[in-house]
Chains A and B, each alone.
Chain A
Amino acid sequence: MEPRKKIWLIGILLILWYPIYLNLDTLSSFIVYNIIGLTPGDHLTESIRFFVYEVPKVFLLLALIVFFMGIVRSYFSPEKTRALLGGKNHIFGNISAASLGIVTPFCSCSAIPLFLGFVESGVPLGVTFSFLIAAPMINEIALILLLEMFGWQTALIYMFAGLFIAIFAGWVIGKLKLEHWVEDWVYQMQATNTEFNEKLTFFDRIDRGVEALRDIIAKVWLYIVVGIAVGAGAHGYIPENFMASIMGSDKWYSVPLSILIGVPLYSNAAGIIPVVKVLLEKGASLGTALAFMMSVIGLSLPETIILKKVLKLPLIITFIGIVSLGIMLVGFVFNLIY
């Protein structure tokens, strides 16, 4: 499509977005009661209405934020991030690395090249870890779903808790001086002196936004639909306070237990958050639910095993241990507060 036409189309869609979003409640009622013709108040009807309302709402929010994040990300390449972080070997380095982890494009398949690229150009080990922990854990999909299901406070809590864990774990790994647990060949690598720098026009950046939108929706739509369907169904069928007995805040072991269950589980934010919603509704405490969610999204066994190529086993174990400890702290603190 011609760039100018594309801008017009995006502009029109953006203008249409808001009234549709605002009227979803009316629209979904109209579809369920008038078009399909179900009786209001009926248990099954309300489950269907919840689904018809929730799915487009999540997709609208997701589309908007992912599009804008795609544009924002085009300003932050891993190459630029690496240049910013070189030689920063104190807590400030960890803080910047964790924050940049949120905005720098990242996919788990590039964890190893990123690790190598950071280390060979002189980014300290602990700072590199802060980046690698924050990047997958704090992402726009997790934040949007949290915002949509639990409100902005919970989304912010998740973001800051994630930042805290990334900074804390990276800082500890840096202090412990574990460089000798990195595979020897990594530090023997020659630092490259070529740097790829892309020149992008504003049109290109908008294209990146559209591209991000297409990629991410294609990747997560099924998780979201299934997740919301499970949420809508479980709502009526699992007894109230069912989870309180094992995931309630009065049980001290609920946090470590949920981390133990969460780490081997592999799912993305889109798949896990609707499940977390059910857990919370059925009596799990916020700290425990947060801990469970973070250990599923942020620490996944398959992804950590890939790191075996560049890290020796003791470092992998230390890494999992310290991040779990950080998540546990977050869980306990929130159980204490709420």
Chain B
Amino acid sequence: MKKIQVLGTGCAKCKKLEENVALAIKNLGLDYEIEKITDIKDILNYGIMMTPGLGIEGKIVSSGRLLNVREIETILTTDNA
């Protein structure tokens, strides 16, 4: 199963992003495992400095933004195309 990373130290936006990701996965009926990266050192190792961040299979696709469900769906659809 593919892994999707939600990066954030626990801010409100990070939690909301995680909810949106879960919803997008469910809407599209895809198989992804959500991995939460909460340690600041790990987050920095992904090469970003603004949270929340989003990664697919370890590759960052967004940083410092709370993506809405539709945006995440677009990202996931391209990833599966």
Say whether A109 faces chain B, with CB atoms less than 8 Å apart.
Answer: yes
**In the complex, what residues of B have CB within 8 A of residue A117's CB?**
44, 49
* Residues of chain A having any CB pair with chain B under 8 Å: 77-79, 82, 105, 109-110, 112-114, 116-118, 120, 189-190, 192, 194-196, 198, 211
Q: Do A196 and B40 contact each other (CB < 8 Å), given the known contacts A109-B11, A110-B49, A113-B50?
A: no
Residue of B nearest to A189 (CB): B41
**In the complex, what residues of A have CB within 8 A of residue B48's CB?**
79, 113, 196
**In the complex, what residues of A have CB within 8 A of residue B40's CB?**
112-113, 116
Q: Chain B, interface size: which category?
A: 10 to 19
Known: A77-B50, A116-B49; 12 extra A-B contacts, CB below 8 A, are: A79-B47, A79-B49, A109-B11, A110-B64, A114-B49, A116-B44, A120-B44, A192-B45, A192-B46, A194-B46, A196-B60, A198-B62
Say whether B24 faces chain A, with CB atoms less than 8 Å apart.
Answer: no
Residue of B44, B46, B62 with highest tally of chain A CB at under 10 A: B44
Q: Do A113 and B45 contact each other (CB < 8 Å), given the known contacts A78-B50, A196-B63, A198-B63?
A: no
Say whether B51 faces chain A, with CB atoms less than 8 Å apart.
Answer: yes
Instruction: Give the distance in Å from the alpha carbon of A112 to the alpha carbon of B11 in the complex.
Output: 13
**In the complex, what residues of B have CB within 8 A of residue A195's CB?**
47
Q: How far is the CB of B5 from chain A (nearest CB, A)?
A: 12
CB within 8 Å of A: which B23-38 residues: none
**In the complex, what residues of A have CB within 8 A of residue B6's CB?**
none
Say whether B43 faces chain A, with CB atoms less than 8 Å apart.
Answer: yes
Interchain CB contact under 8 A, A113 and B47: no
Which 9 residue pairs of A and B lie closest in terms of their CB atoms, listed nearest first? A117-B49, A194-B47, A196-B60, A78-B49, A196-B47, A113-B49, A196-B48, A195-B47, A192-B45
**In the complex, what residues of A have CB within 8 A of residue B44's CB?**
113, 116-117, 120, 189, 192
Q: How far is the CB of A229 from chain B (nearest CB, A)?
A: 28
Residue of A79, A114, A195 with highest tally of chain B CB at under 10 A: A79
**In the complex, what residues of B have CB within 8 A of residue A198's CB?**
62-63
Q: How far is the CB of B23 from chain A (nearest CB, A)?
A: 19
Instruction: Give the distance in Å from the alpha carbon of A120 to the alpha carbon of B50 in the complex.
Output: 15
24 chain-A/chain-B pairs, Cβ below 8 angstroms: A77-B50, A78-B50, A79-B47, A105-B64, A110-B64, A112-B40, A113-B9, A113-B40, A113-B44, A113-B49, A114-B49, A114-B50, A116-B44, A116-B49, A189-B44, A192-B44, A192-B46, A194-B45, A194-B46, A194-B60, A196-B46, A196-B48, A196-B60, A198-B62
Residue of B nearest to A186 (CB): B41
**In the complex, what residues of B have CB within 8 A of residue A120's CB?**
44
> CB within 8 A of A113: which of B51, B62, B65?
B51
Q: How far is the CB of B32 from chain A (nearest CB, A)?
A: 20
**In the complex, what residues of A have CB within 8 A of residue B45's CB?**
190, 192, 194
**In the complex, what residues of A have CB within 8 A of residue B47's CB?**
79, 192, 194-196
Q: Do A105 and B50 contact each other (CB < 8 Å), given the known contacts A192-B44, A196-B60?
A: yes
Instruction: Give the distance in Å from the alpha carbon of A110 to the alpha carbon of B63 in the complex.
Output: 12
Residue of A nearest to B45 (CB): A192
